Amino acid sequence: MILERFLLTDQVAVVTGAGRGIGAASAIALAEAGADVVISARTEADLDGVAVAVEALGRRAEVVAGDLSDFEVVASLARRAKERFGRLDVVVNNLGGTMPLPLLDTTPEYLEEAFHFNVATAHALVRAAVPLLLEGGGGSIVNISSVMGRITGRGFLAYGTAKAALAHYTRLAAKDLAPRIRINAIAVGSTATSALDIVLQSDELREQMEAATPLGRIGDVEDIAAGVLFLASAAGGYLTGKVLEIDGGTDAPTLEFGLPDL
């Protein structure tokens, strides 16, 4: 049956940024498909809530609270999967994010920080995970990028550049990792996460974002989690080096910041 291709029975996944939003939804989706999960973020209380949801599905969760901007901490997650569950099959690099700033306020240091948080941390985990994925015969890596990596908008210089780099990192890494390890990315559009909480509390801003999205709504975290499961499982087994666009049809920013002209 085709639905069996979406199962991850007794596989093991690492999900970063898994305390809330897309990361939490992805960890729960992978568990629902049969995987045990190592979940990591800064706030242990958030992770504990996700672990409860995972365990309610009959799967196991290993909680690792820490600063994932530290390369050693993020890389250690691969080892933790091996130590706790005996294997590693799936990696979801969901860590990332950068606040919008005007170009002249975007210092070189801020741009470097955006690359560090969105790209270099993902690479640190990939390097640590690859030997363990190969031990099990292969596996799948999913990087969470953004629609802003392919469209343009004022204020998104650091964030959009970093996410574009993550998308192309995915394409390049696919050549190095094929055929035993697949690596793909998701270009996420406007999605209802804690990062958008302030915006979503305003009916006016919500309506503006919905009107700017061809499908007429803001995405749910489950929309992205479904894509993660597809790419992680045998259902996406003939894809590598691809960027799946889950963005409601967006081809321009759904929110303008009203930045002044130079």
Long-range CB contact pairs, 200-206, < 8 A, 24+: 205/255
Residue 178 placed within a domain: yes
Residue 13 placed within a domain: yes
**Residue 228: closest CA among 22, 1, 20:** 22
Would you state the pLDDT for residue 197?
Answer: 67
Would you state the pLDDT for residue 198?
Answer: 63
DSSP state of 43: -
CATH number at residue 15: 3.40.50.720
Residue 256 placed within a domain: no
Instruction: Output the pTM of the full model.
Output: 0.95
Residue 260 placed within a domain: no
Q: Which of 110, 159, 169, 238 is catalytic?
A: 159
User: C-alpha dihedral over 39, 44, 48, 50, to 10 degrees?
Assistant: -50
Long-range CB contact pairs, 59-64, < 8 A, 24+: 59/31, 59/34, 59/35, 60/36, 60/84, 60/85, 61/27, 61/31, 61/36, 61/37, 62/36, 62/37, 62/38, 63/39, 64/38, 64/39, 64/40
Rounded Cα gap, residues 4 and 137, in angstroms: 20
Residue 259 placed within a domain: no
Would you state the pLDDT for residue 106?
Answer: 96
Residue 255 placed within a domain: no
Confidence of residue 193 (pLDDT cuts 50, 70, 90): confident
Domain of residue 146: give its range: 2-245
- pLDDT tens digit string along 127-149? 999 999 999 999 999 999 999 99
Residue 252 placed within a domain: no
In sign, the C-alpha dihedral spanning 101, 113, 147, 221 is negative
Sheet holding 181-188, edge to edge: 61-65, 36-41, 12-16, 90-93, 139-146, 181-188, 243-246
Residue 179 placed within a domain: yes
Q: Are the C-beta atoms of 229 and 187 separated by less than 8 Å?
A: no
The whole-number average pLDDT for the span 71-75 is 98
How many other C-beta atoms are found inside a 10 Å radius of the C-beta of residue 110?
14
User: What's the gap between Cα 70 and its chain centre?
Assistant: 17
Structure tokens at 63: 């909680």
Q: Is the pLDDT of residue 256 over 90?
A: no
Report how many domains make up the chain. 1
Would you state the pLDDT for residue 203?
Answer: 79
**Residue 110 appears among annotated catalytic residues:** no
